[in-house]
Amino acid sequence: MCLALIRMYALLALNLNNLQLHQRPICVGIAIMLLLCAGVPTATESLTASELMQRMRSATDTLNYDGIFIYQRGSQIDAMRVIHKFDGRGERERLVSLSGPPREVIRDGQRVTCFLADDREVRVDRSEPRDFLSVGLDEPIEYLAESYTFNIAGEDRVAGRTATAINILPKERNRYGYQLWIDDESNLLLKSVILNRSGQSLEQVQFVQLSVSEHLPDALFETEIEGEGFTWYTDSSPDNSAASVVETSGWAVRWLPAGFKMRNHKVQTMYESDMPVSHMVYSDGLAMVSVFVEKLMDKSDSLQGFSSMGAVNAFSRVAENYQITVVGEVPLPMVRQIASSVEHQTH
């Protein structure tokens, strides 16, 4: 199931007045959410949790399905519909909000288009490689086993379907735990729960209705939001002179929890301005952390403080006239510590 696809809502719904995350390339967050759509082969009782997860990884993104699911973070609940298609040449995907303001996200290959009716905006971005933040796993089990333990919790039912439940527990307190429910018949991930260090649920996503089809019509991937009179934003790489403002500034992350590696580093422009932002992405194979560094043009626009939504935490500070913002699926103390470690390199 497309589970962390839903985390686009966590990024879009963070306290925007606090950290003004809407000034960041939001479709990057949406693209990250699109990474968790994963199908898995049929489970058997003889398979271990690690083997099930390895099979999940190898079978990611190959099923066609149409489902409705619930996303809960704290006291807030959203209903959404997800439609996913794989035709052997590539993937197409559509996410539709069924509660709150009308919003849709359509992914066609590496192109992600976000329709935001409440803001009267359409944002176009390129999808990140799918090995970022993926329950499909972007690292070998042997690597993840250095930071997590895995075990099969037993059989359960989700959306009227029999599923195998898997626990993914962190070995240290600087990560969250996960619980996954894998459908025994359709081989899709039916439910996901992220747990804090006390074992309490921070957010969970689960299907309430699901159909798996051999073929899905192209009409299902067309937006129902007309977009007339909307403002269109297209993410593009800044020119070399603008990019050098950030790229040559020499900022580096000095501390990360063990196991986190850089997955990507690029310079992007914000939708509302031409100011380049350096975006560094780190992952341990399950959790993802994004670090944004932006040169401030006006001190009055600086932001400092934190915000949270479900399992997603953000912390922002100012250093040497640069805005540093860290957004991650790790506990808040870790986000703050990572942000505090971002320094300008001296030669």
| pLDDT tens per residue across span 178-195 | 999 988 888 788 999 999
Q: Where are the alpha helices (DSSP H) in 44-86?
A: 49-58
Q: Which of 86-100, 125-139, 236-250, 297-311 is predicted least confidently?
A: 236-250
Contacts with 202 (C-beta within 8 Å, 6 or more apart), sequence order: 73, 74, 176, 194, 195, 196, 310, 311
For residue 275, is pLDDT > 80? no
Confidence tier at 246 by pLDDT (50, 70, 90):
very low
Amino acid at 207: F
Mean pLDDT of the chain: 78
- What pLDDT does residue 222 have? 94
Domain 236-344, what architecture?
2-Layer Sandwich (3.30)
Per-residue DSSP letter, 2:
B
Fold of 4-221: outer membrane lipoprotein receptor (LolB), chain A (2.50.20)
- 236-344 shares the fold of 4-221: no
- What pLDDT does residue 32 have? 35
Q: Domain residue spans in the chain?
A: 4-221, 236-344
- What pLDDT does residue 244 have? 39
In percent, how much of the chain has pLDDT > 90? 40
Residue 312 contacts residue 221 (beta carbons within 8 Å): no
Locate 225 and state its tokens: 């939001």
Confidence tier at 320 by pLDDT (50, 70, 90):
confident
In the chain the first and final C-alpha atoms are separated, in Å, by 47
Q: What are 111-168's pLDDT values in tens digits?
A: 889 999 998 999 888 765 443 223 545 667 778 889 999 999 999 999 999 999 999 9
Q: pLDDT: is 87 or 37 the higher one?
A: 87
